[in-house]
Amino acid sequence: MASDLLWLLWTLPLAFALGWWLSRFDVRQWRHTERLAPKAYFRGLNHLLNEQQDEAIDAFIEAVQHDADTLELHFALGNLFRRRGDYDRAIRVHQHLLARADLTPSQREHAQHELALDFFRAGLFDRAERALLALEGGRYAEQARSMLLTIYERSRDWHHALQLTRELASDNPTHHAVRAAQYSCEIGDAARAQGQTDAAERAYQEALTLHPQAVRPALALAHMAHARGEHHAALEQLLRLVHAQPQAAALAAVWLAQWAQALPEARAKAVAALQIAQQVAPSVDVTLALAHLQPEQSNTLLDEALTQRPALALARERLHSEPHTPPAVLHAIDQAMGPGQRYRCTRCGFEAQQYFWQCPGCQSWESFPFKRCGEA
């Protein structure tokens, strides 16, 4: 009993002394860290100013190891490198962050998002895709899906693009209909280019289901029918399109005129459809198609159109019908017509001789009007 008491008398002050020493140690450690962290910041800043970015990163990493509160500094640093185009360094910073065990789920998600942005800007789309998929269900999910869609478009992965758009469309189907139909048409075009006509037809039909007013699949289905030798069916398809979407007649007119000329019994229907379209959405292409389909009235039609719309393409057609027009005059008009015969993107002004469903300049869908630029 006496020995127990004696033991207690010795150990109590010892425990007290140990506790006091430990608390002193913590304070010292904390002060030491506080001293080390600002030093590392300044060293990092100094390296950064001297453009010694590797050393700067090492210094900032050291700073963040001593003080967890420097997390934001890491994010700022990674962002800085990414903006400068130093993607390797941005990736290193964010990968280092992700490797830390002490991040909260929210901080980890933030780091994952930053890393996905690094990969995306660096053009490392396969790694960006994996990083973005990891953000599913979180607060960055919407941004991640939008970036994923861009990745699928740029890598022409139309099946994944369509699948993702379908998922996005579950809330608002009409909002994504245009894009979904375009993706389906891209799938159709790819199948058609490989001679897989059944798959192509299915894809175009699906595009029409997704977006019943879509012009592209209707045109494609008409061309496919014509290629199969179903000339009447092809013409009917174009006529339905022109009736439903008169503004798209400018794009269909040249085929309508060509196909109807080969089917005399259908010519009157084609003329009627084009005349209606011309009233709703007048265009040079529709005027030219009407002139080709009615050669006996061609000059009158062109003269009338020229008084309303002084387009070079119409003047050229009119001069062609005159037997005494000097070739030099026609050549001069051809030279002058060059830019006037182009389609122009309404978003970025990109001009092209051919019609694009997706602008090669700004990647917008359906941003080219059906009329060529320079038309009233």
Tokens standing for 298? 């061609």
What is the rounded distance in angstroms from the CA atom of residue 246 to the CA atom of residue 239? Answer: 10
CB of 349 to Zn ion, least distance (A): 7
Tokens standing for 222? 């008409």
Sign of the alpha-carbon dihedral angle for 296, 300, 303, 308: negative
Q: Which is nearer to Zn ion, 129 or 153 (CB)?
A: 153
What is the rounded distance in angstroms from the CA atom of residue 320 to the CA atom of residue 274? Answer: 22
Coil vs helix vs strand at 358:
strand
Angle between helices 298-308 and 284-293 (to 10 degrees): 160
Q: Which is nearer to Zn ion, 56 or 251 (CB)?
A: 251
Q: Which is nearer to Zn ion, 205 or 364 (CB)?
A: 364
Neighbours of 261 (CB within 10 A): 15
Instruction: Sort residue 359 into left (φ over 0), alpha (ψ -120 to 50) or beta.
Output: beta
CB of 137 to Zn ion, least distance (A): 33
Q: Which is nearer to Zn ion, 161 or 359 (CB)?
A: 359
Residues that bind Zn ion (CB under 5 A): 345, 347-348, 350, 359, 361-362
What is the rounded distance in angstroms from the CA atom of residue 10 to the CA atom of residue 301? Answer: 118
Q: Which is nearer to Zn ion, 188 or 369 (CB)?
A: 369
CB of 370 to Zn ion, least distance (A): 15
Beta-strand runs (E) in the chain: 343-344, 351-352
CB of 352 to Zn ion, least distance (A): 10
Q: Which is nearer to Zn ion, 202 or 347 (CB)?
A: 347
Q: Which is nearer to Zn ion, 274 or 345 (CB)?
A: 345
CB of 332 to Zn ion, least distance (A): 31
What is the rounded distance in angstroms from the CA atom of residue 214 to the CA atom of residue 183? Answer: 12
Length of the chain as a residue count: 376
Nearest to 220 by CA among 343, 316, 361, 357: 357
Nearest to 44 by CA among 22, 62, 60, 25: 60
Q: Which is nearer to Zn ion, 211 or 344 (CB)?
A: 344
CB of 372 to Zn ion, least distance (A): 15
Nearest to 162 by CA among 147, 184, 145, 141: 184
CB of 318 to Zn ion, least distance (A): 33
CB of 350 to Zn ion, least distance (A): 4
What is the rounded distance in angstroms from the CA atom of residue 366 to the CA atom of residue 205? Answer: 19
What is the rounded distance in angstroms from the CA atom of residue 117 to the CA atom of residue 135? Answer: 12
CB of 354 to Zn ion, least distance (A): 14
Q: Which is nearer to Zn ion, 216 or 316 (CB)?
A: 216
Q: CA separation (Å) from 59 to 45, 77, 371?
A: 9, 12, 59
